């Protein structure tokens, strides 16, 4: 029972997320409503709200799932080169779903507990990738600078001051400055 039950629930959740992503691609995040996602998933809006804490939660969850499929860059080349690769891997992945990226930036600022939980995980994921690209011996300040610059770039892209496609190129010299290119 419990396995069948949770299968049913899992199905519903998956249908909701799939519908959310489809809706996002089709109408964009401004026009997306929880009810339209529910309808697309073939589920009532009350049901949607039992799985989605909020619109923000939907966006953040979709982003988190999407991000997890970003390839992990391999650890060859110079330190700066490795970090640049890590950055490129992330931005490339993010740029694949521009509407999702646009949606998640404000959503990440939400105050739902679900949003908060995921936001910590996302931050930790970025940190882990930079950490491993940097290798040992990188100072705390360097790690923090990288993370802040990357967050800043995401924010700028979210505000439309930079496209997700150009993020990696814009960040490359910034990474060089922070990590030290010599």
Partner DNA sequence: TTCTAATCTGGACACGTGTCCAGCGCAACG
Partner DNA sequence: CGTTGCGCTGGACACGTGTCCAGATTAGAA
- Distance between CA 20 and CA 36 in Å, rounded? 9
Burial of 111 (0-12, 13-18, 19+ CB in 10 A): exposed
Show the CA angle centred on residue 131, arms to residues 129 and 135, nearest 5°. Answer: 120
Is position 78 an interface residue for DNA (rule: CB under 7 A)? no
Rank residues 31 and 124 by Cβ distance to DNA and give the closer one: 31
Rank residues 38 and 179 by Cβ distance to its own copies and give the closer one: 179
What is the distance, to the nearest Å, from the Cα of residue 71 to the centroid of all Cα atoms in its chain? 13
Rank residues 38 and 133 by Cβ distance to DNA and give the closer one: 38
Question: Smallest distance, Å, CB 116 to DNA?
Answer: 14
- The tokens describing 155, both together, are 């924010």
Positions touching its own copies (CB under 8 A) are 30, 105-106, 108-109, 111, 116, 119, 123, 139-142, 144-145, 147-156, 158-161, 170-171, 173-174, 176-178
Phi, psi at 143, each rounded to 5°: -60, -45
Question: Smallest distance, Å, CB 181 to its own copies?
Answer: 10
**Which residues of this protein are in contact with DNA, per CB under 7 A?**
1, 4-9, 11-12, 32-35, 42-47, 49-50, 53-56
């Amino acid at each position: 029972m419990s396995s069948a039950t949770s299968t049913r629930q899992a199905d519903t959740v998956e249908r909701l997320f799939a519908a959310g992503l489809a809706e996002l691609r089709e109408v964009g995040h401004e026009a997306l409503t929880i009810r339209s996602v529910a309808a697309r998933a073939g589920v009532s809006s009350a049901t949607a709200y039992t799985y989605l804490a909020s619109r923000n939660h939907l966006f953040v969850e979709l982003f988190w799932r999407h991000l997890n499929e970003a390839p992990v860059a391999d650890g060859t080349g110079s330190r700066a080169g490795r970090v640049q690769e890590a950055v490129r891997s992330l931005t490339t992945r993010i740029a694949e779903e521009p509407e999702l990226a646009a949606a998640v930036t404000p959503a990440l600022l939400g105050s739902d507990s679900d949003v908060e939980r995921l936001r910590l995980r996302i931050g930790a994921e970025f940190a882990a990738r930079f950490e491993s690209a940097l290798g040992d011996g990188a100072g705390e300040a360097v790690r923090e600078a990288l993370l802040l610059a990357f967050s800043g770039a995401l924010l700028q892209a979210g505000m439309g001051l930079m496209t997700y496609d150009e993020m990696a190129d814009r960040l490359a010299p910034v990474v060089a400055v922070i990590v030290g290119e010599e």
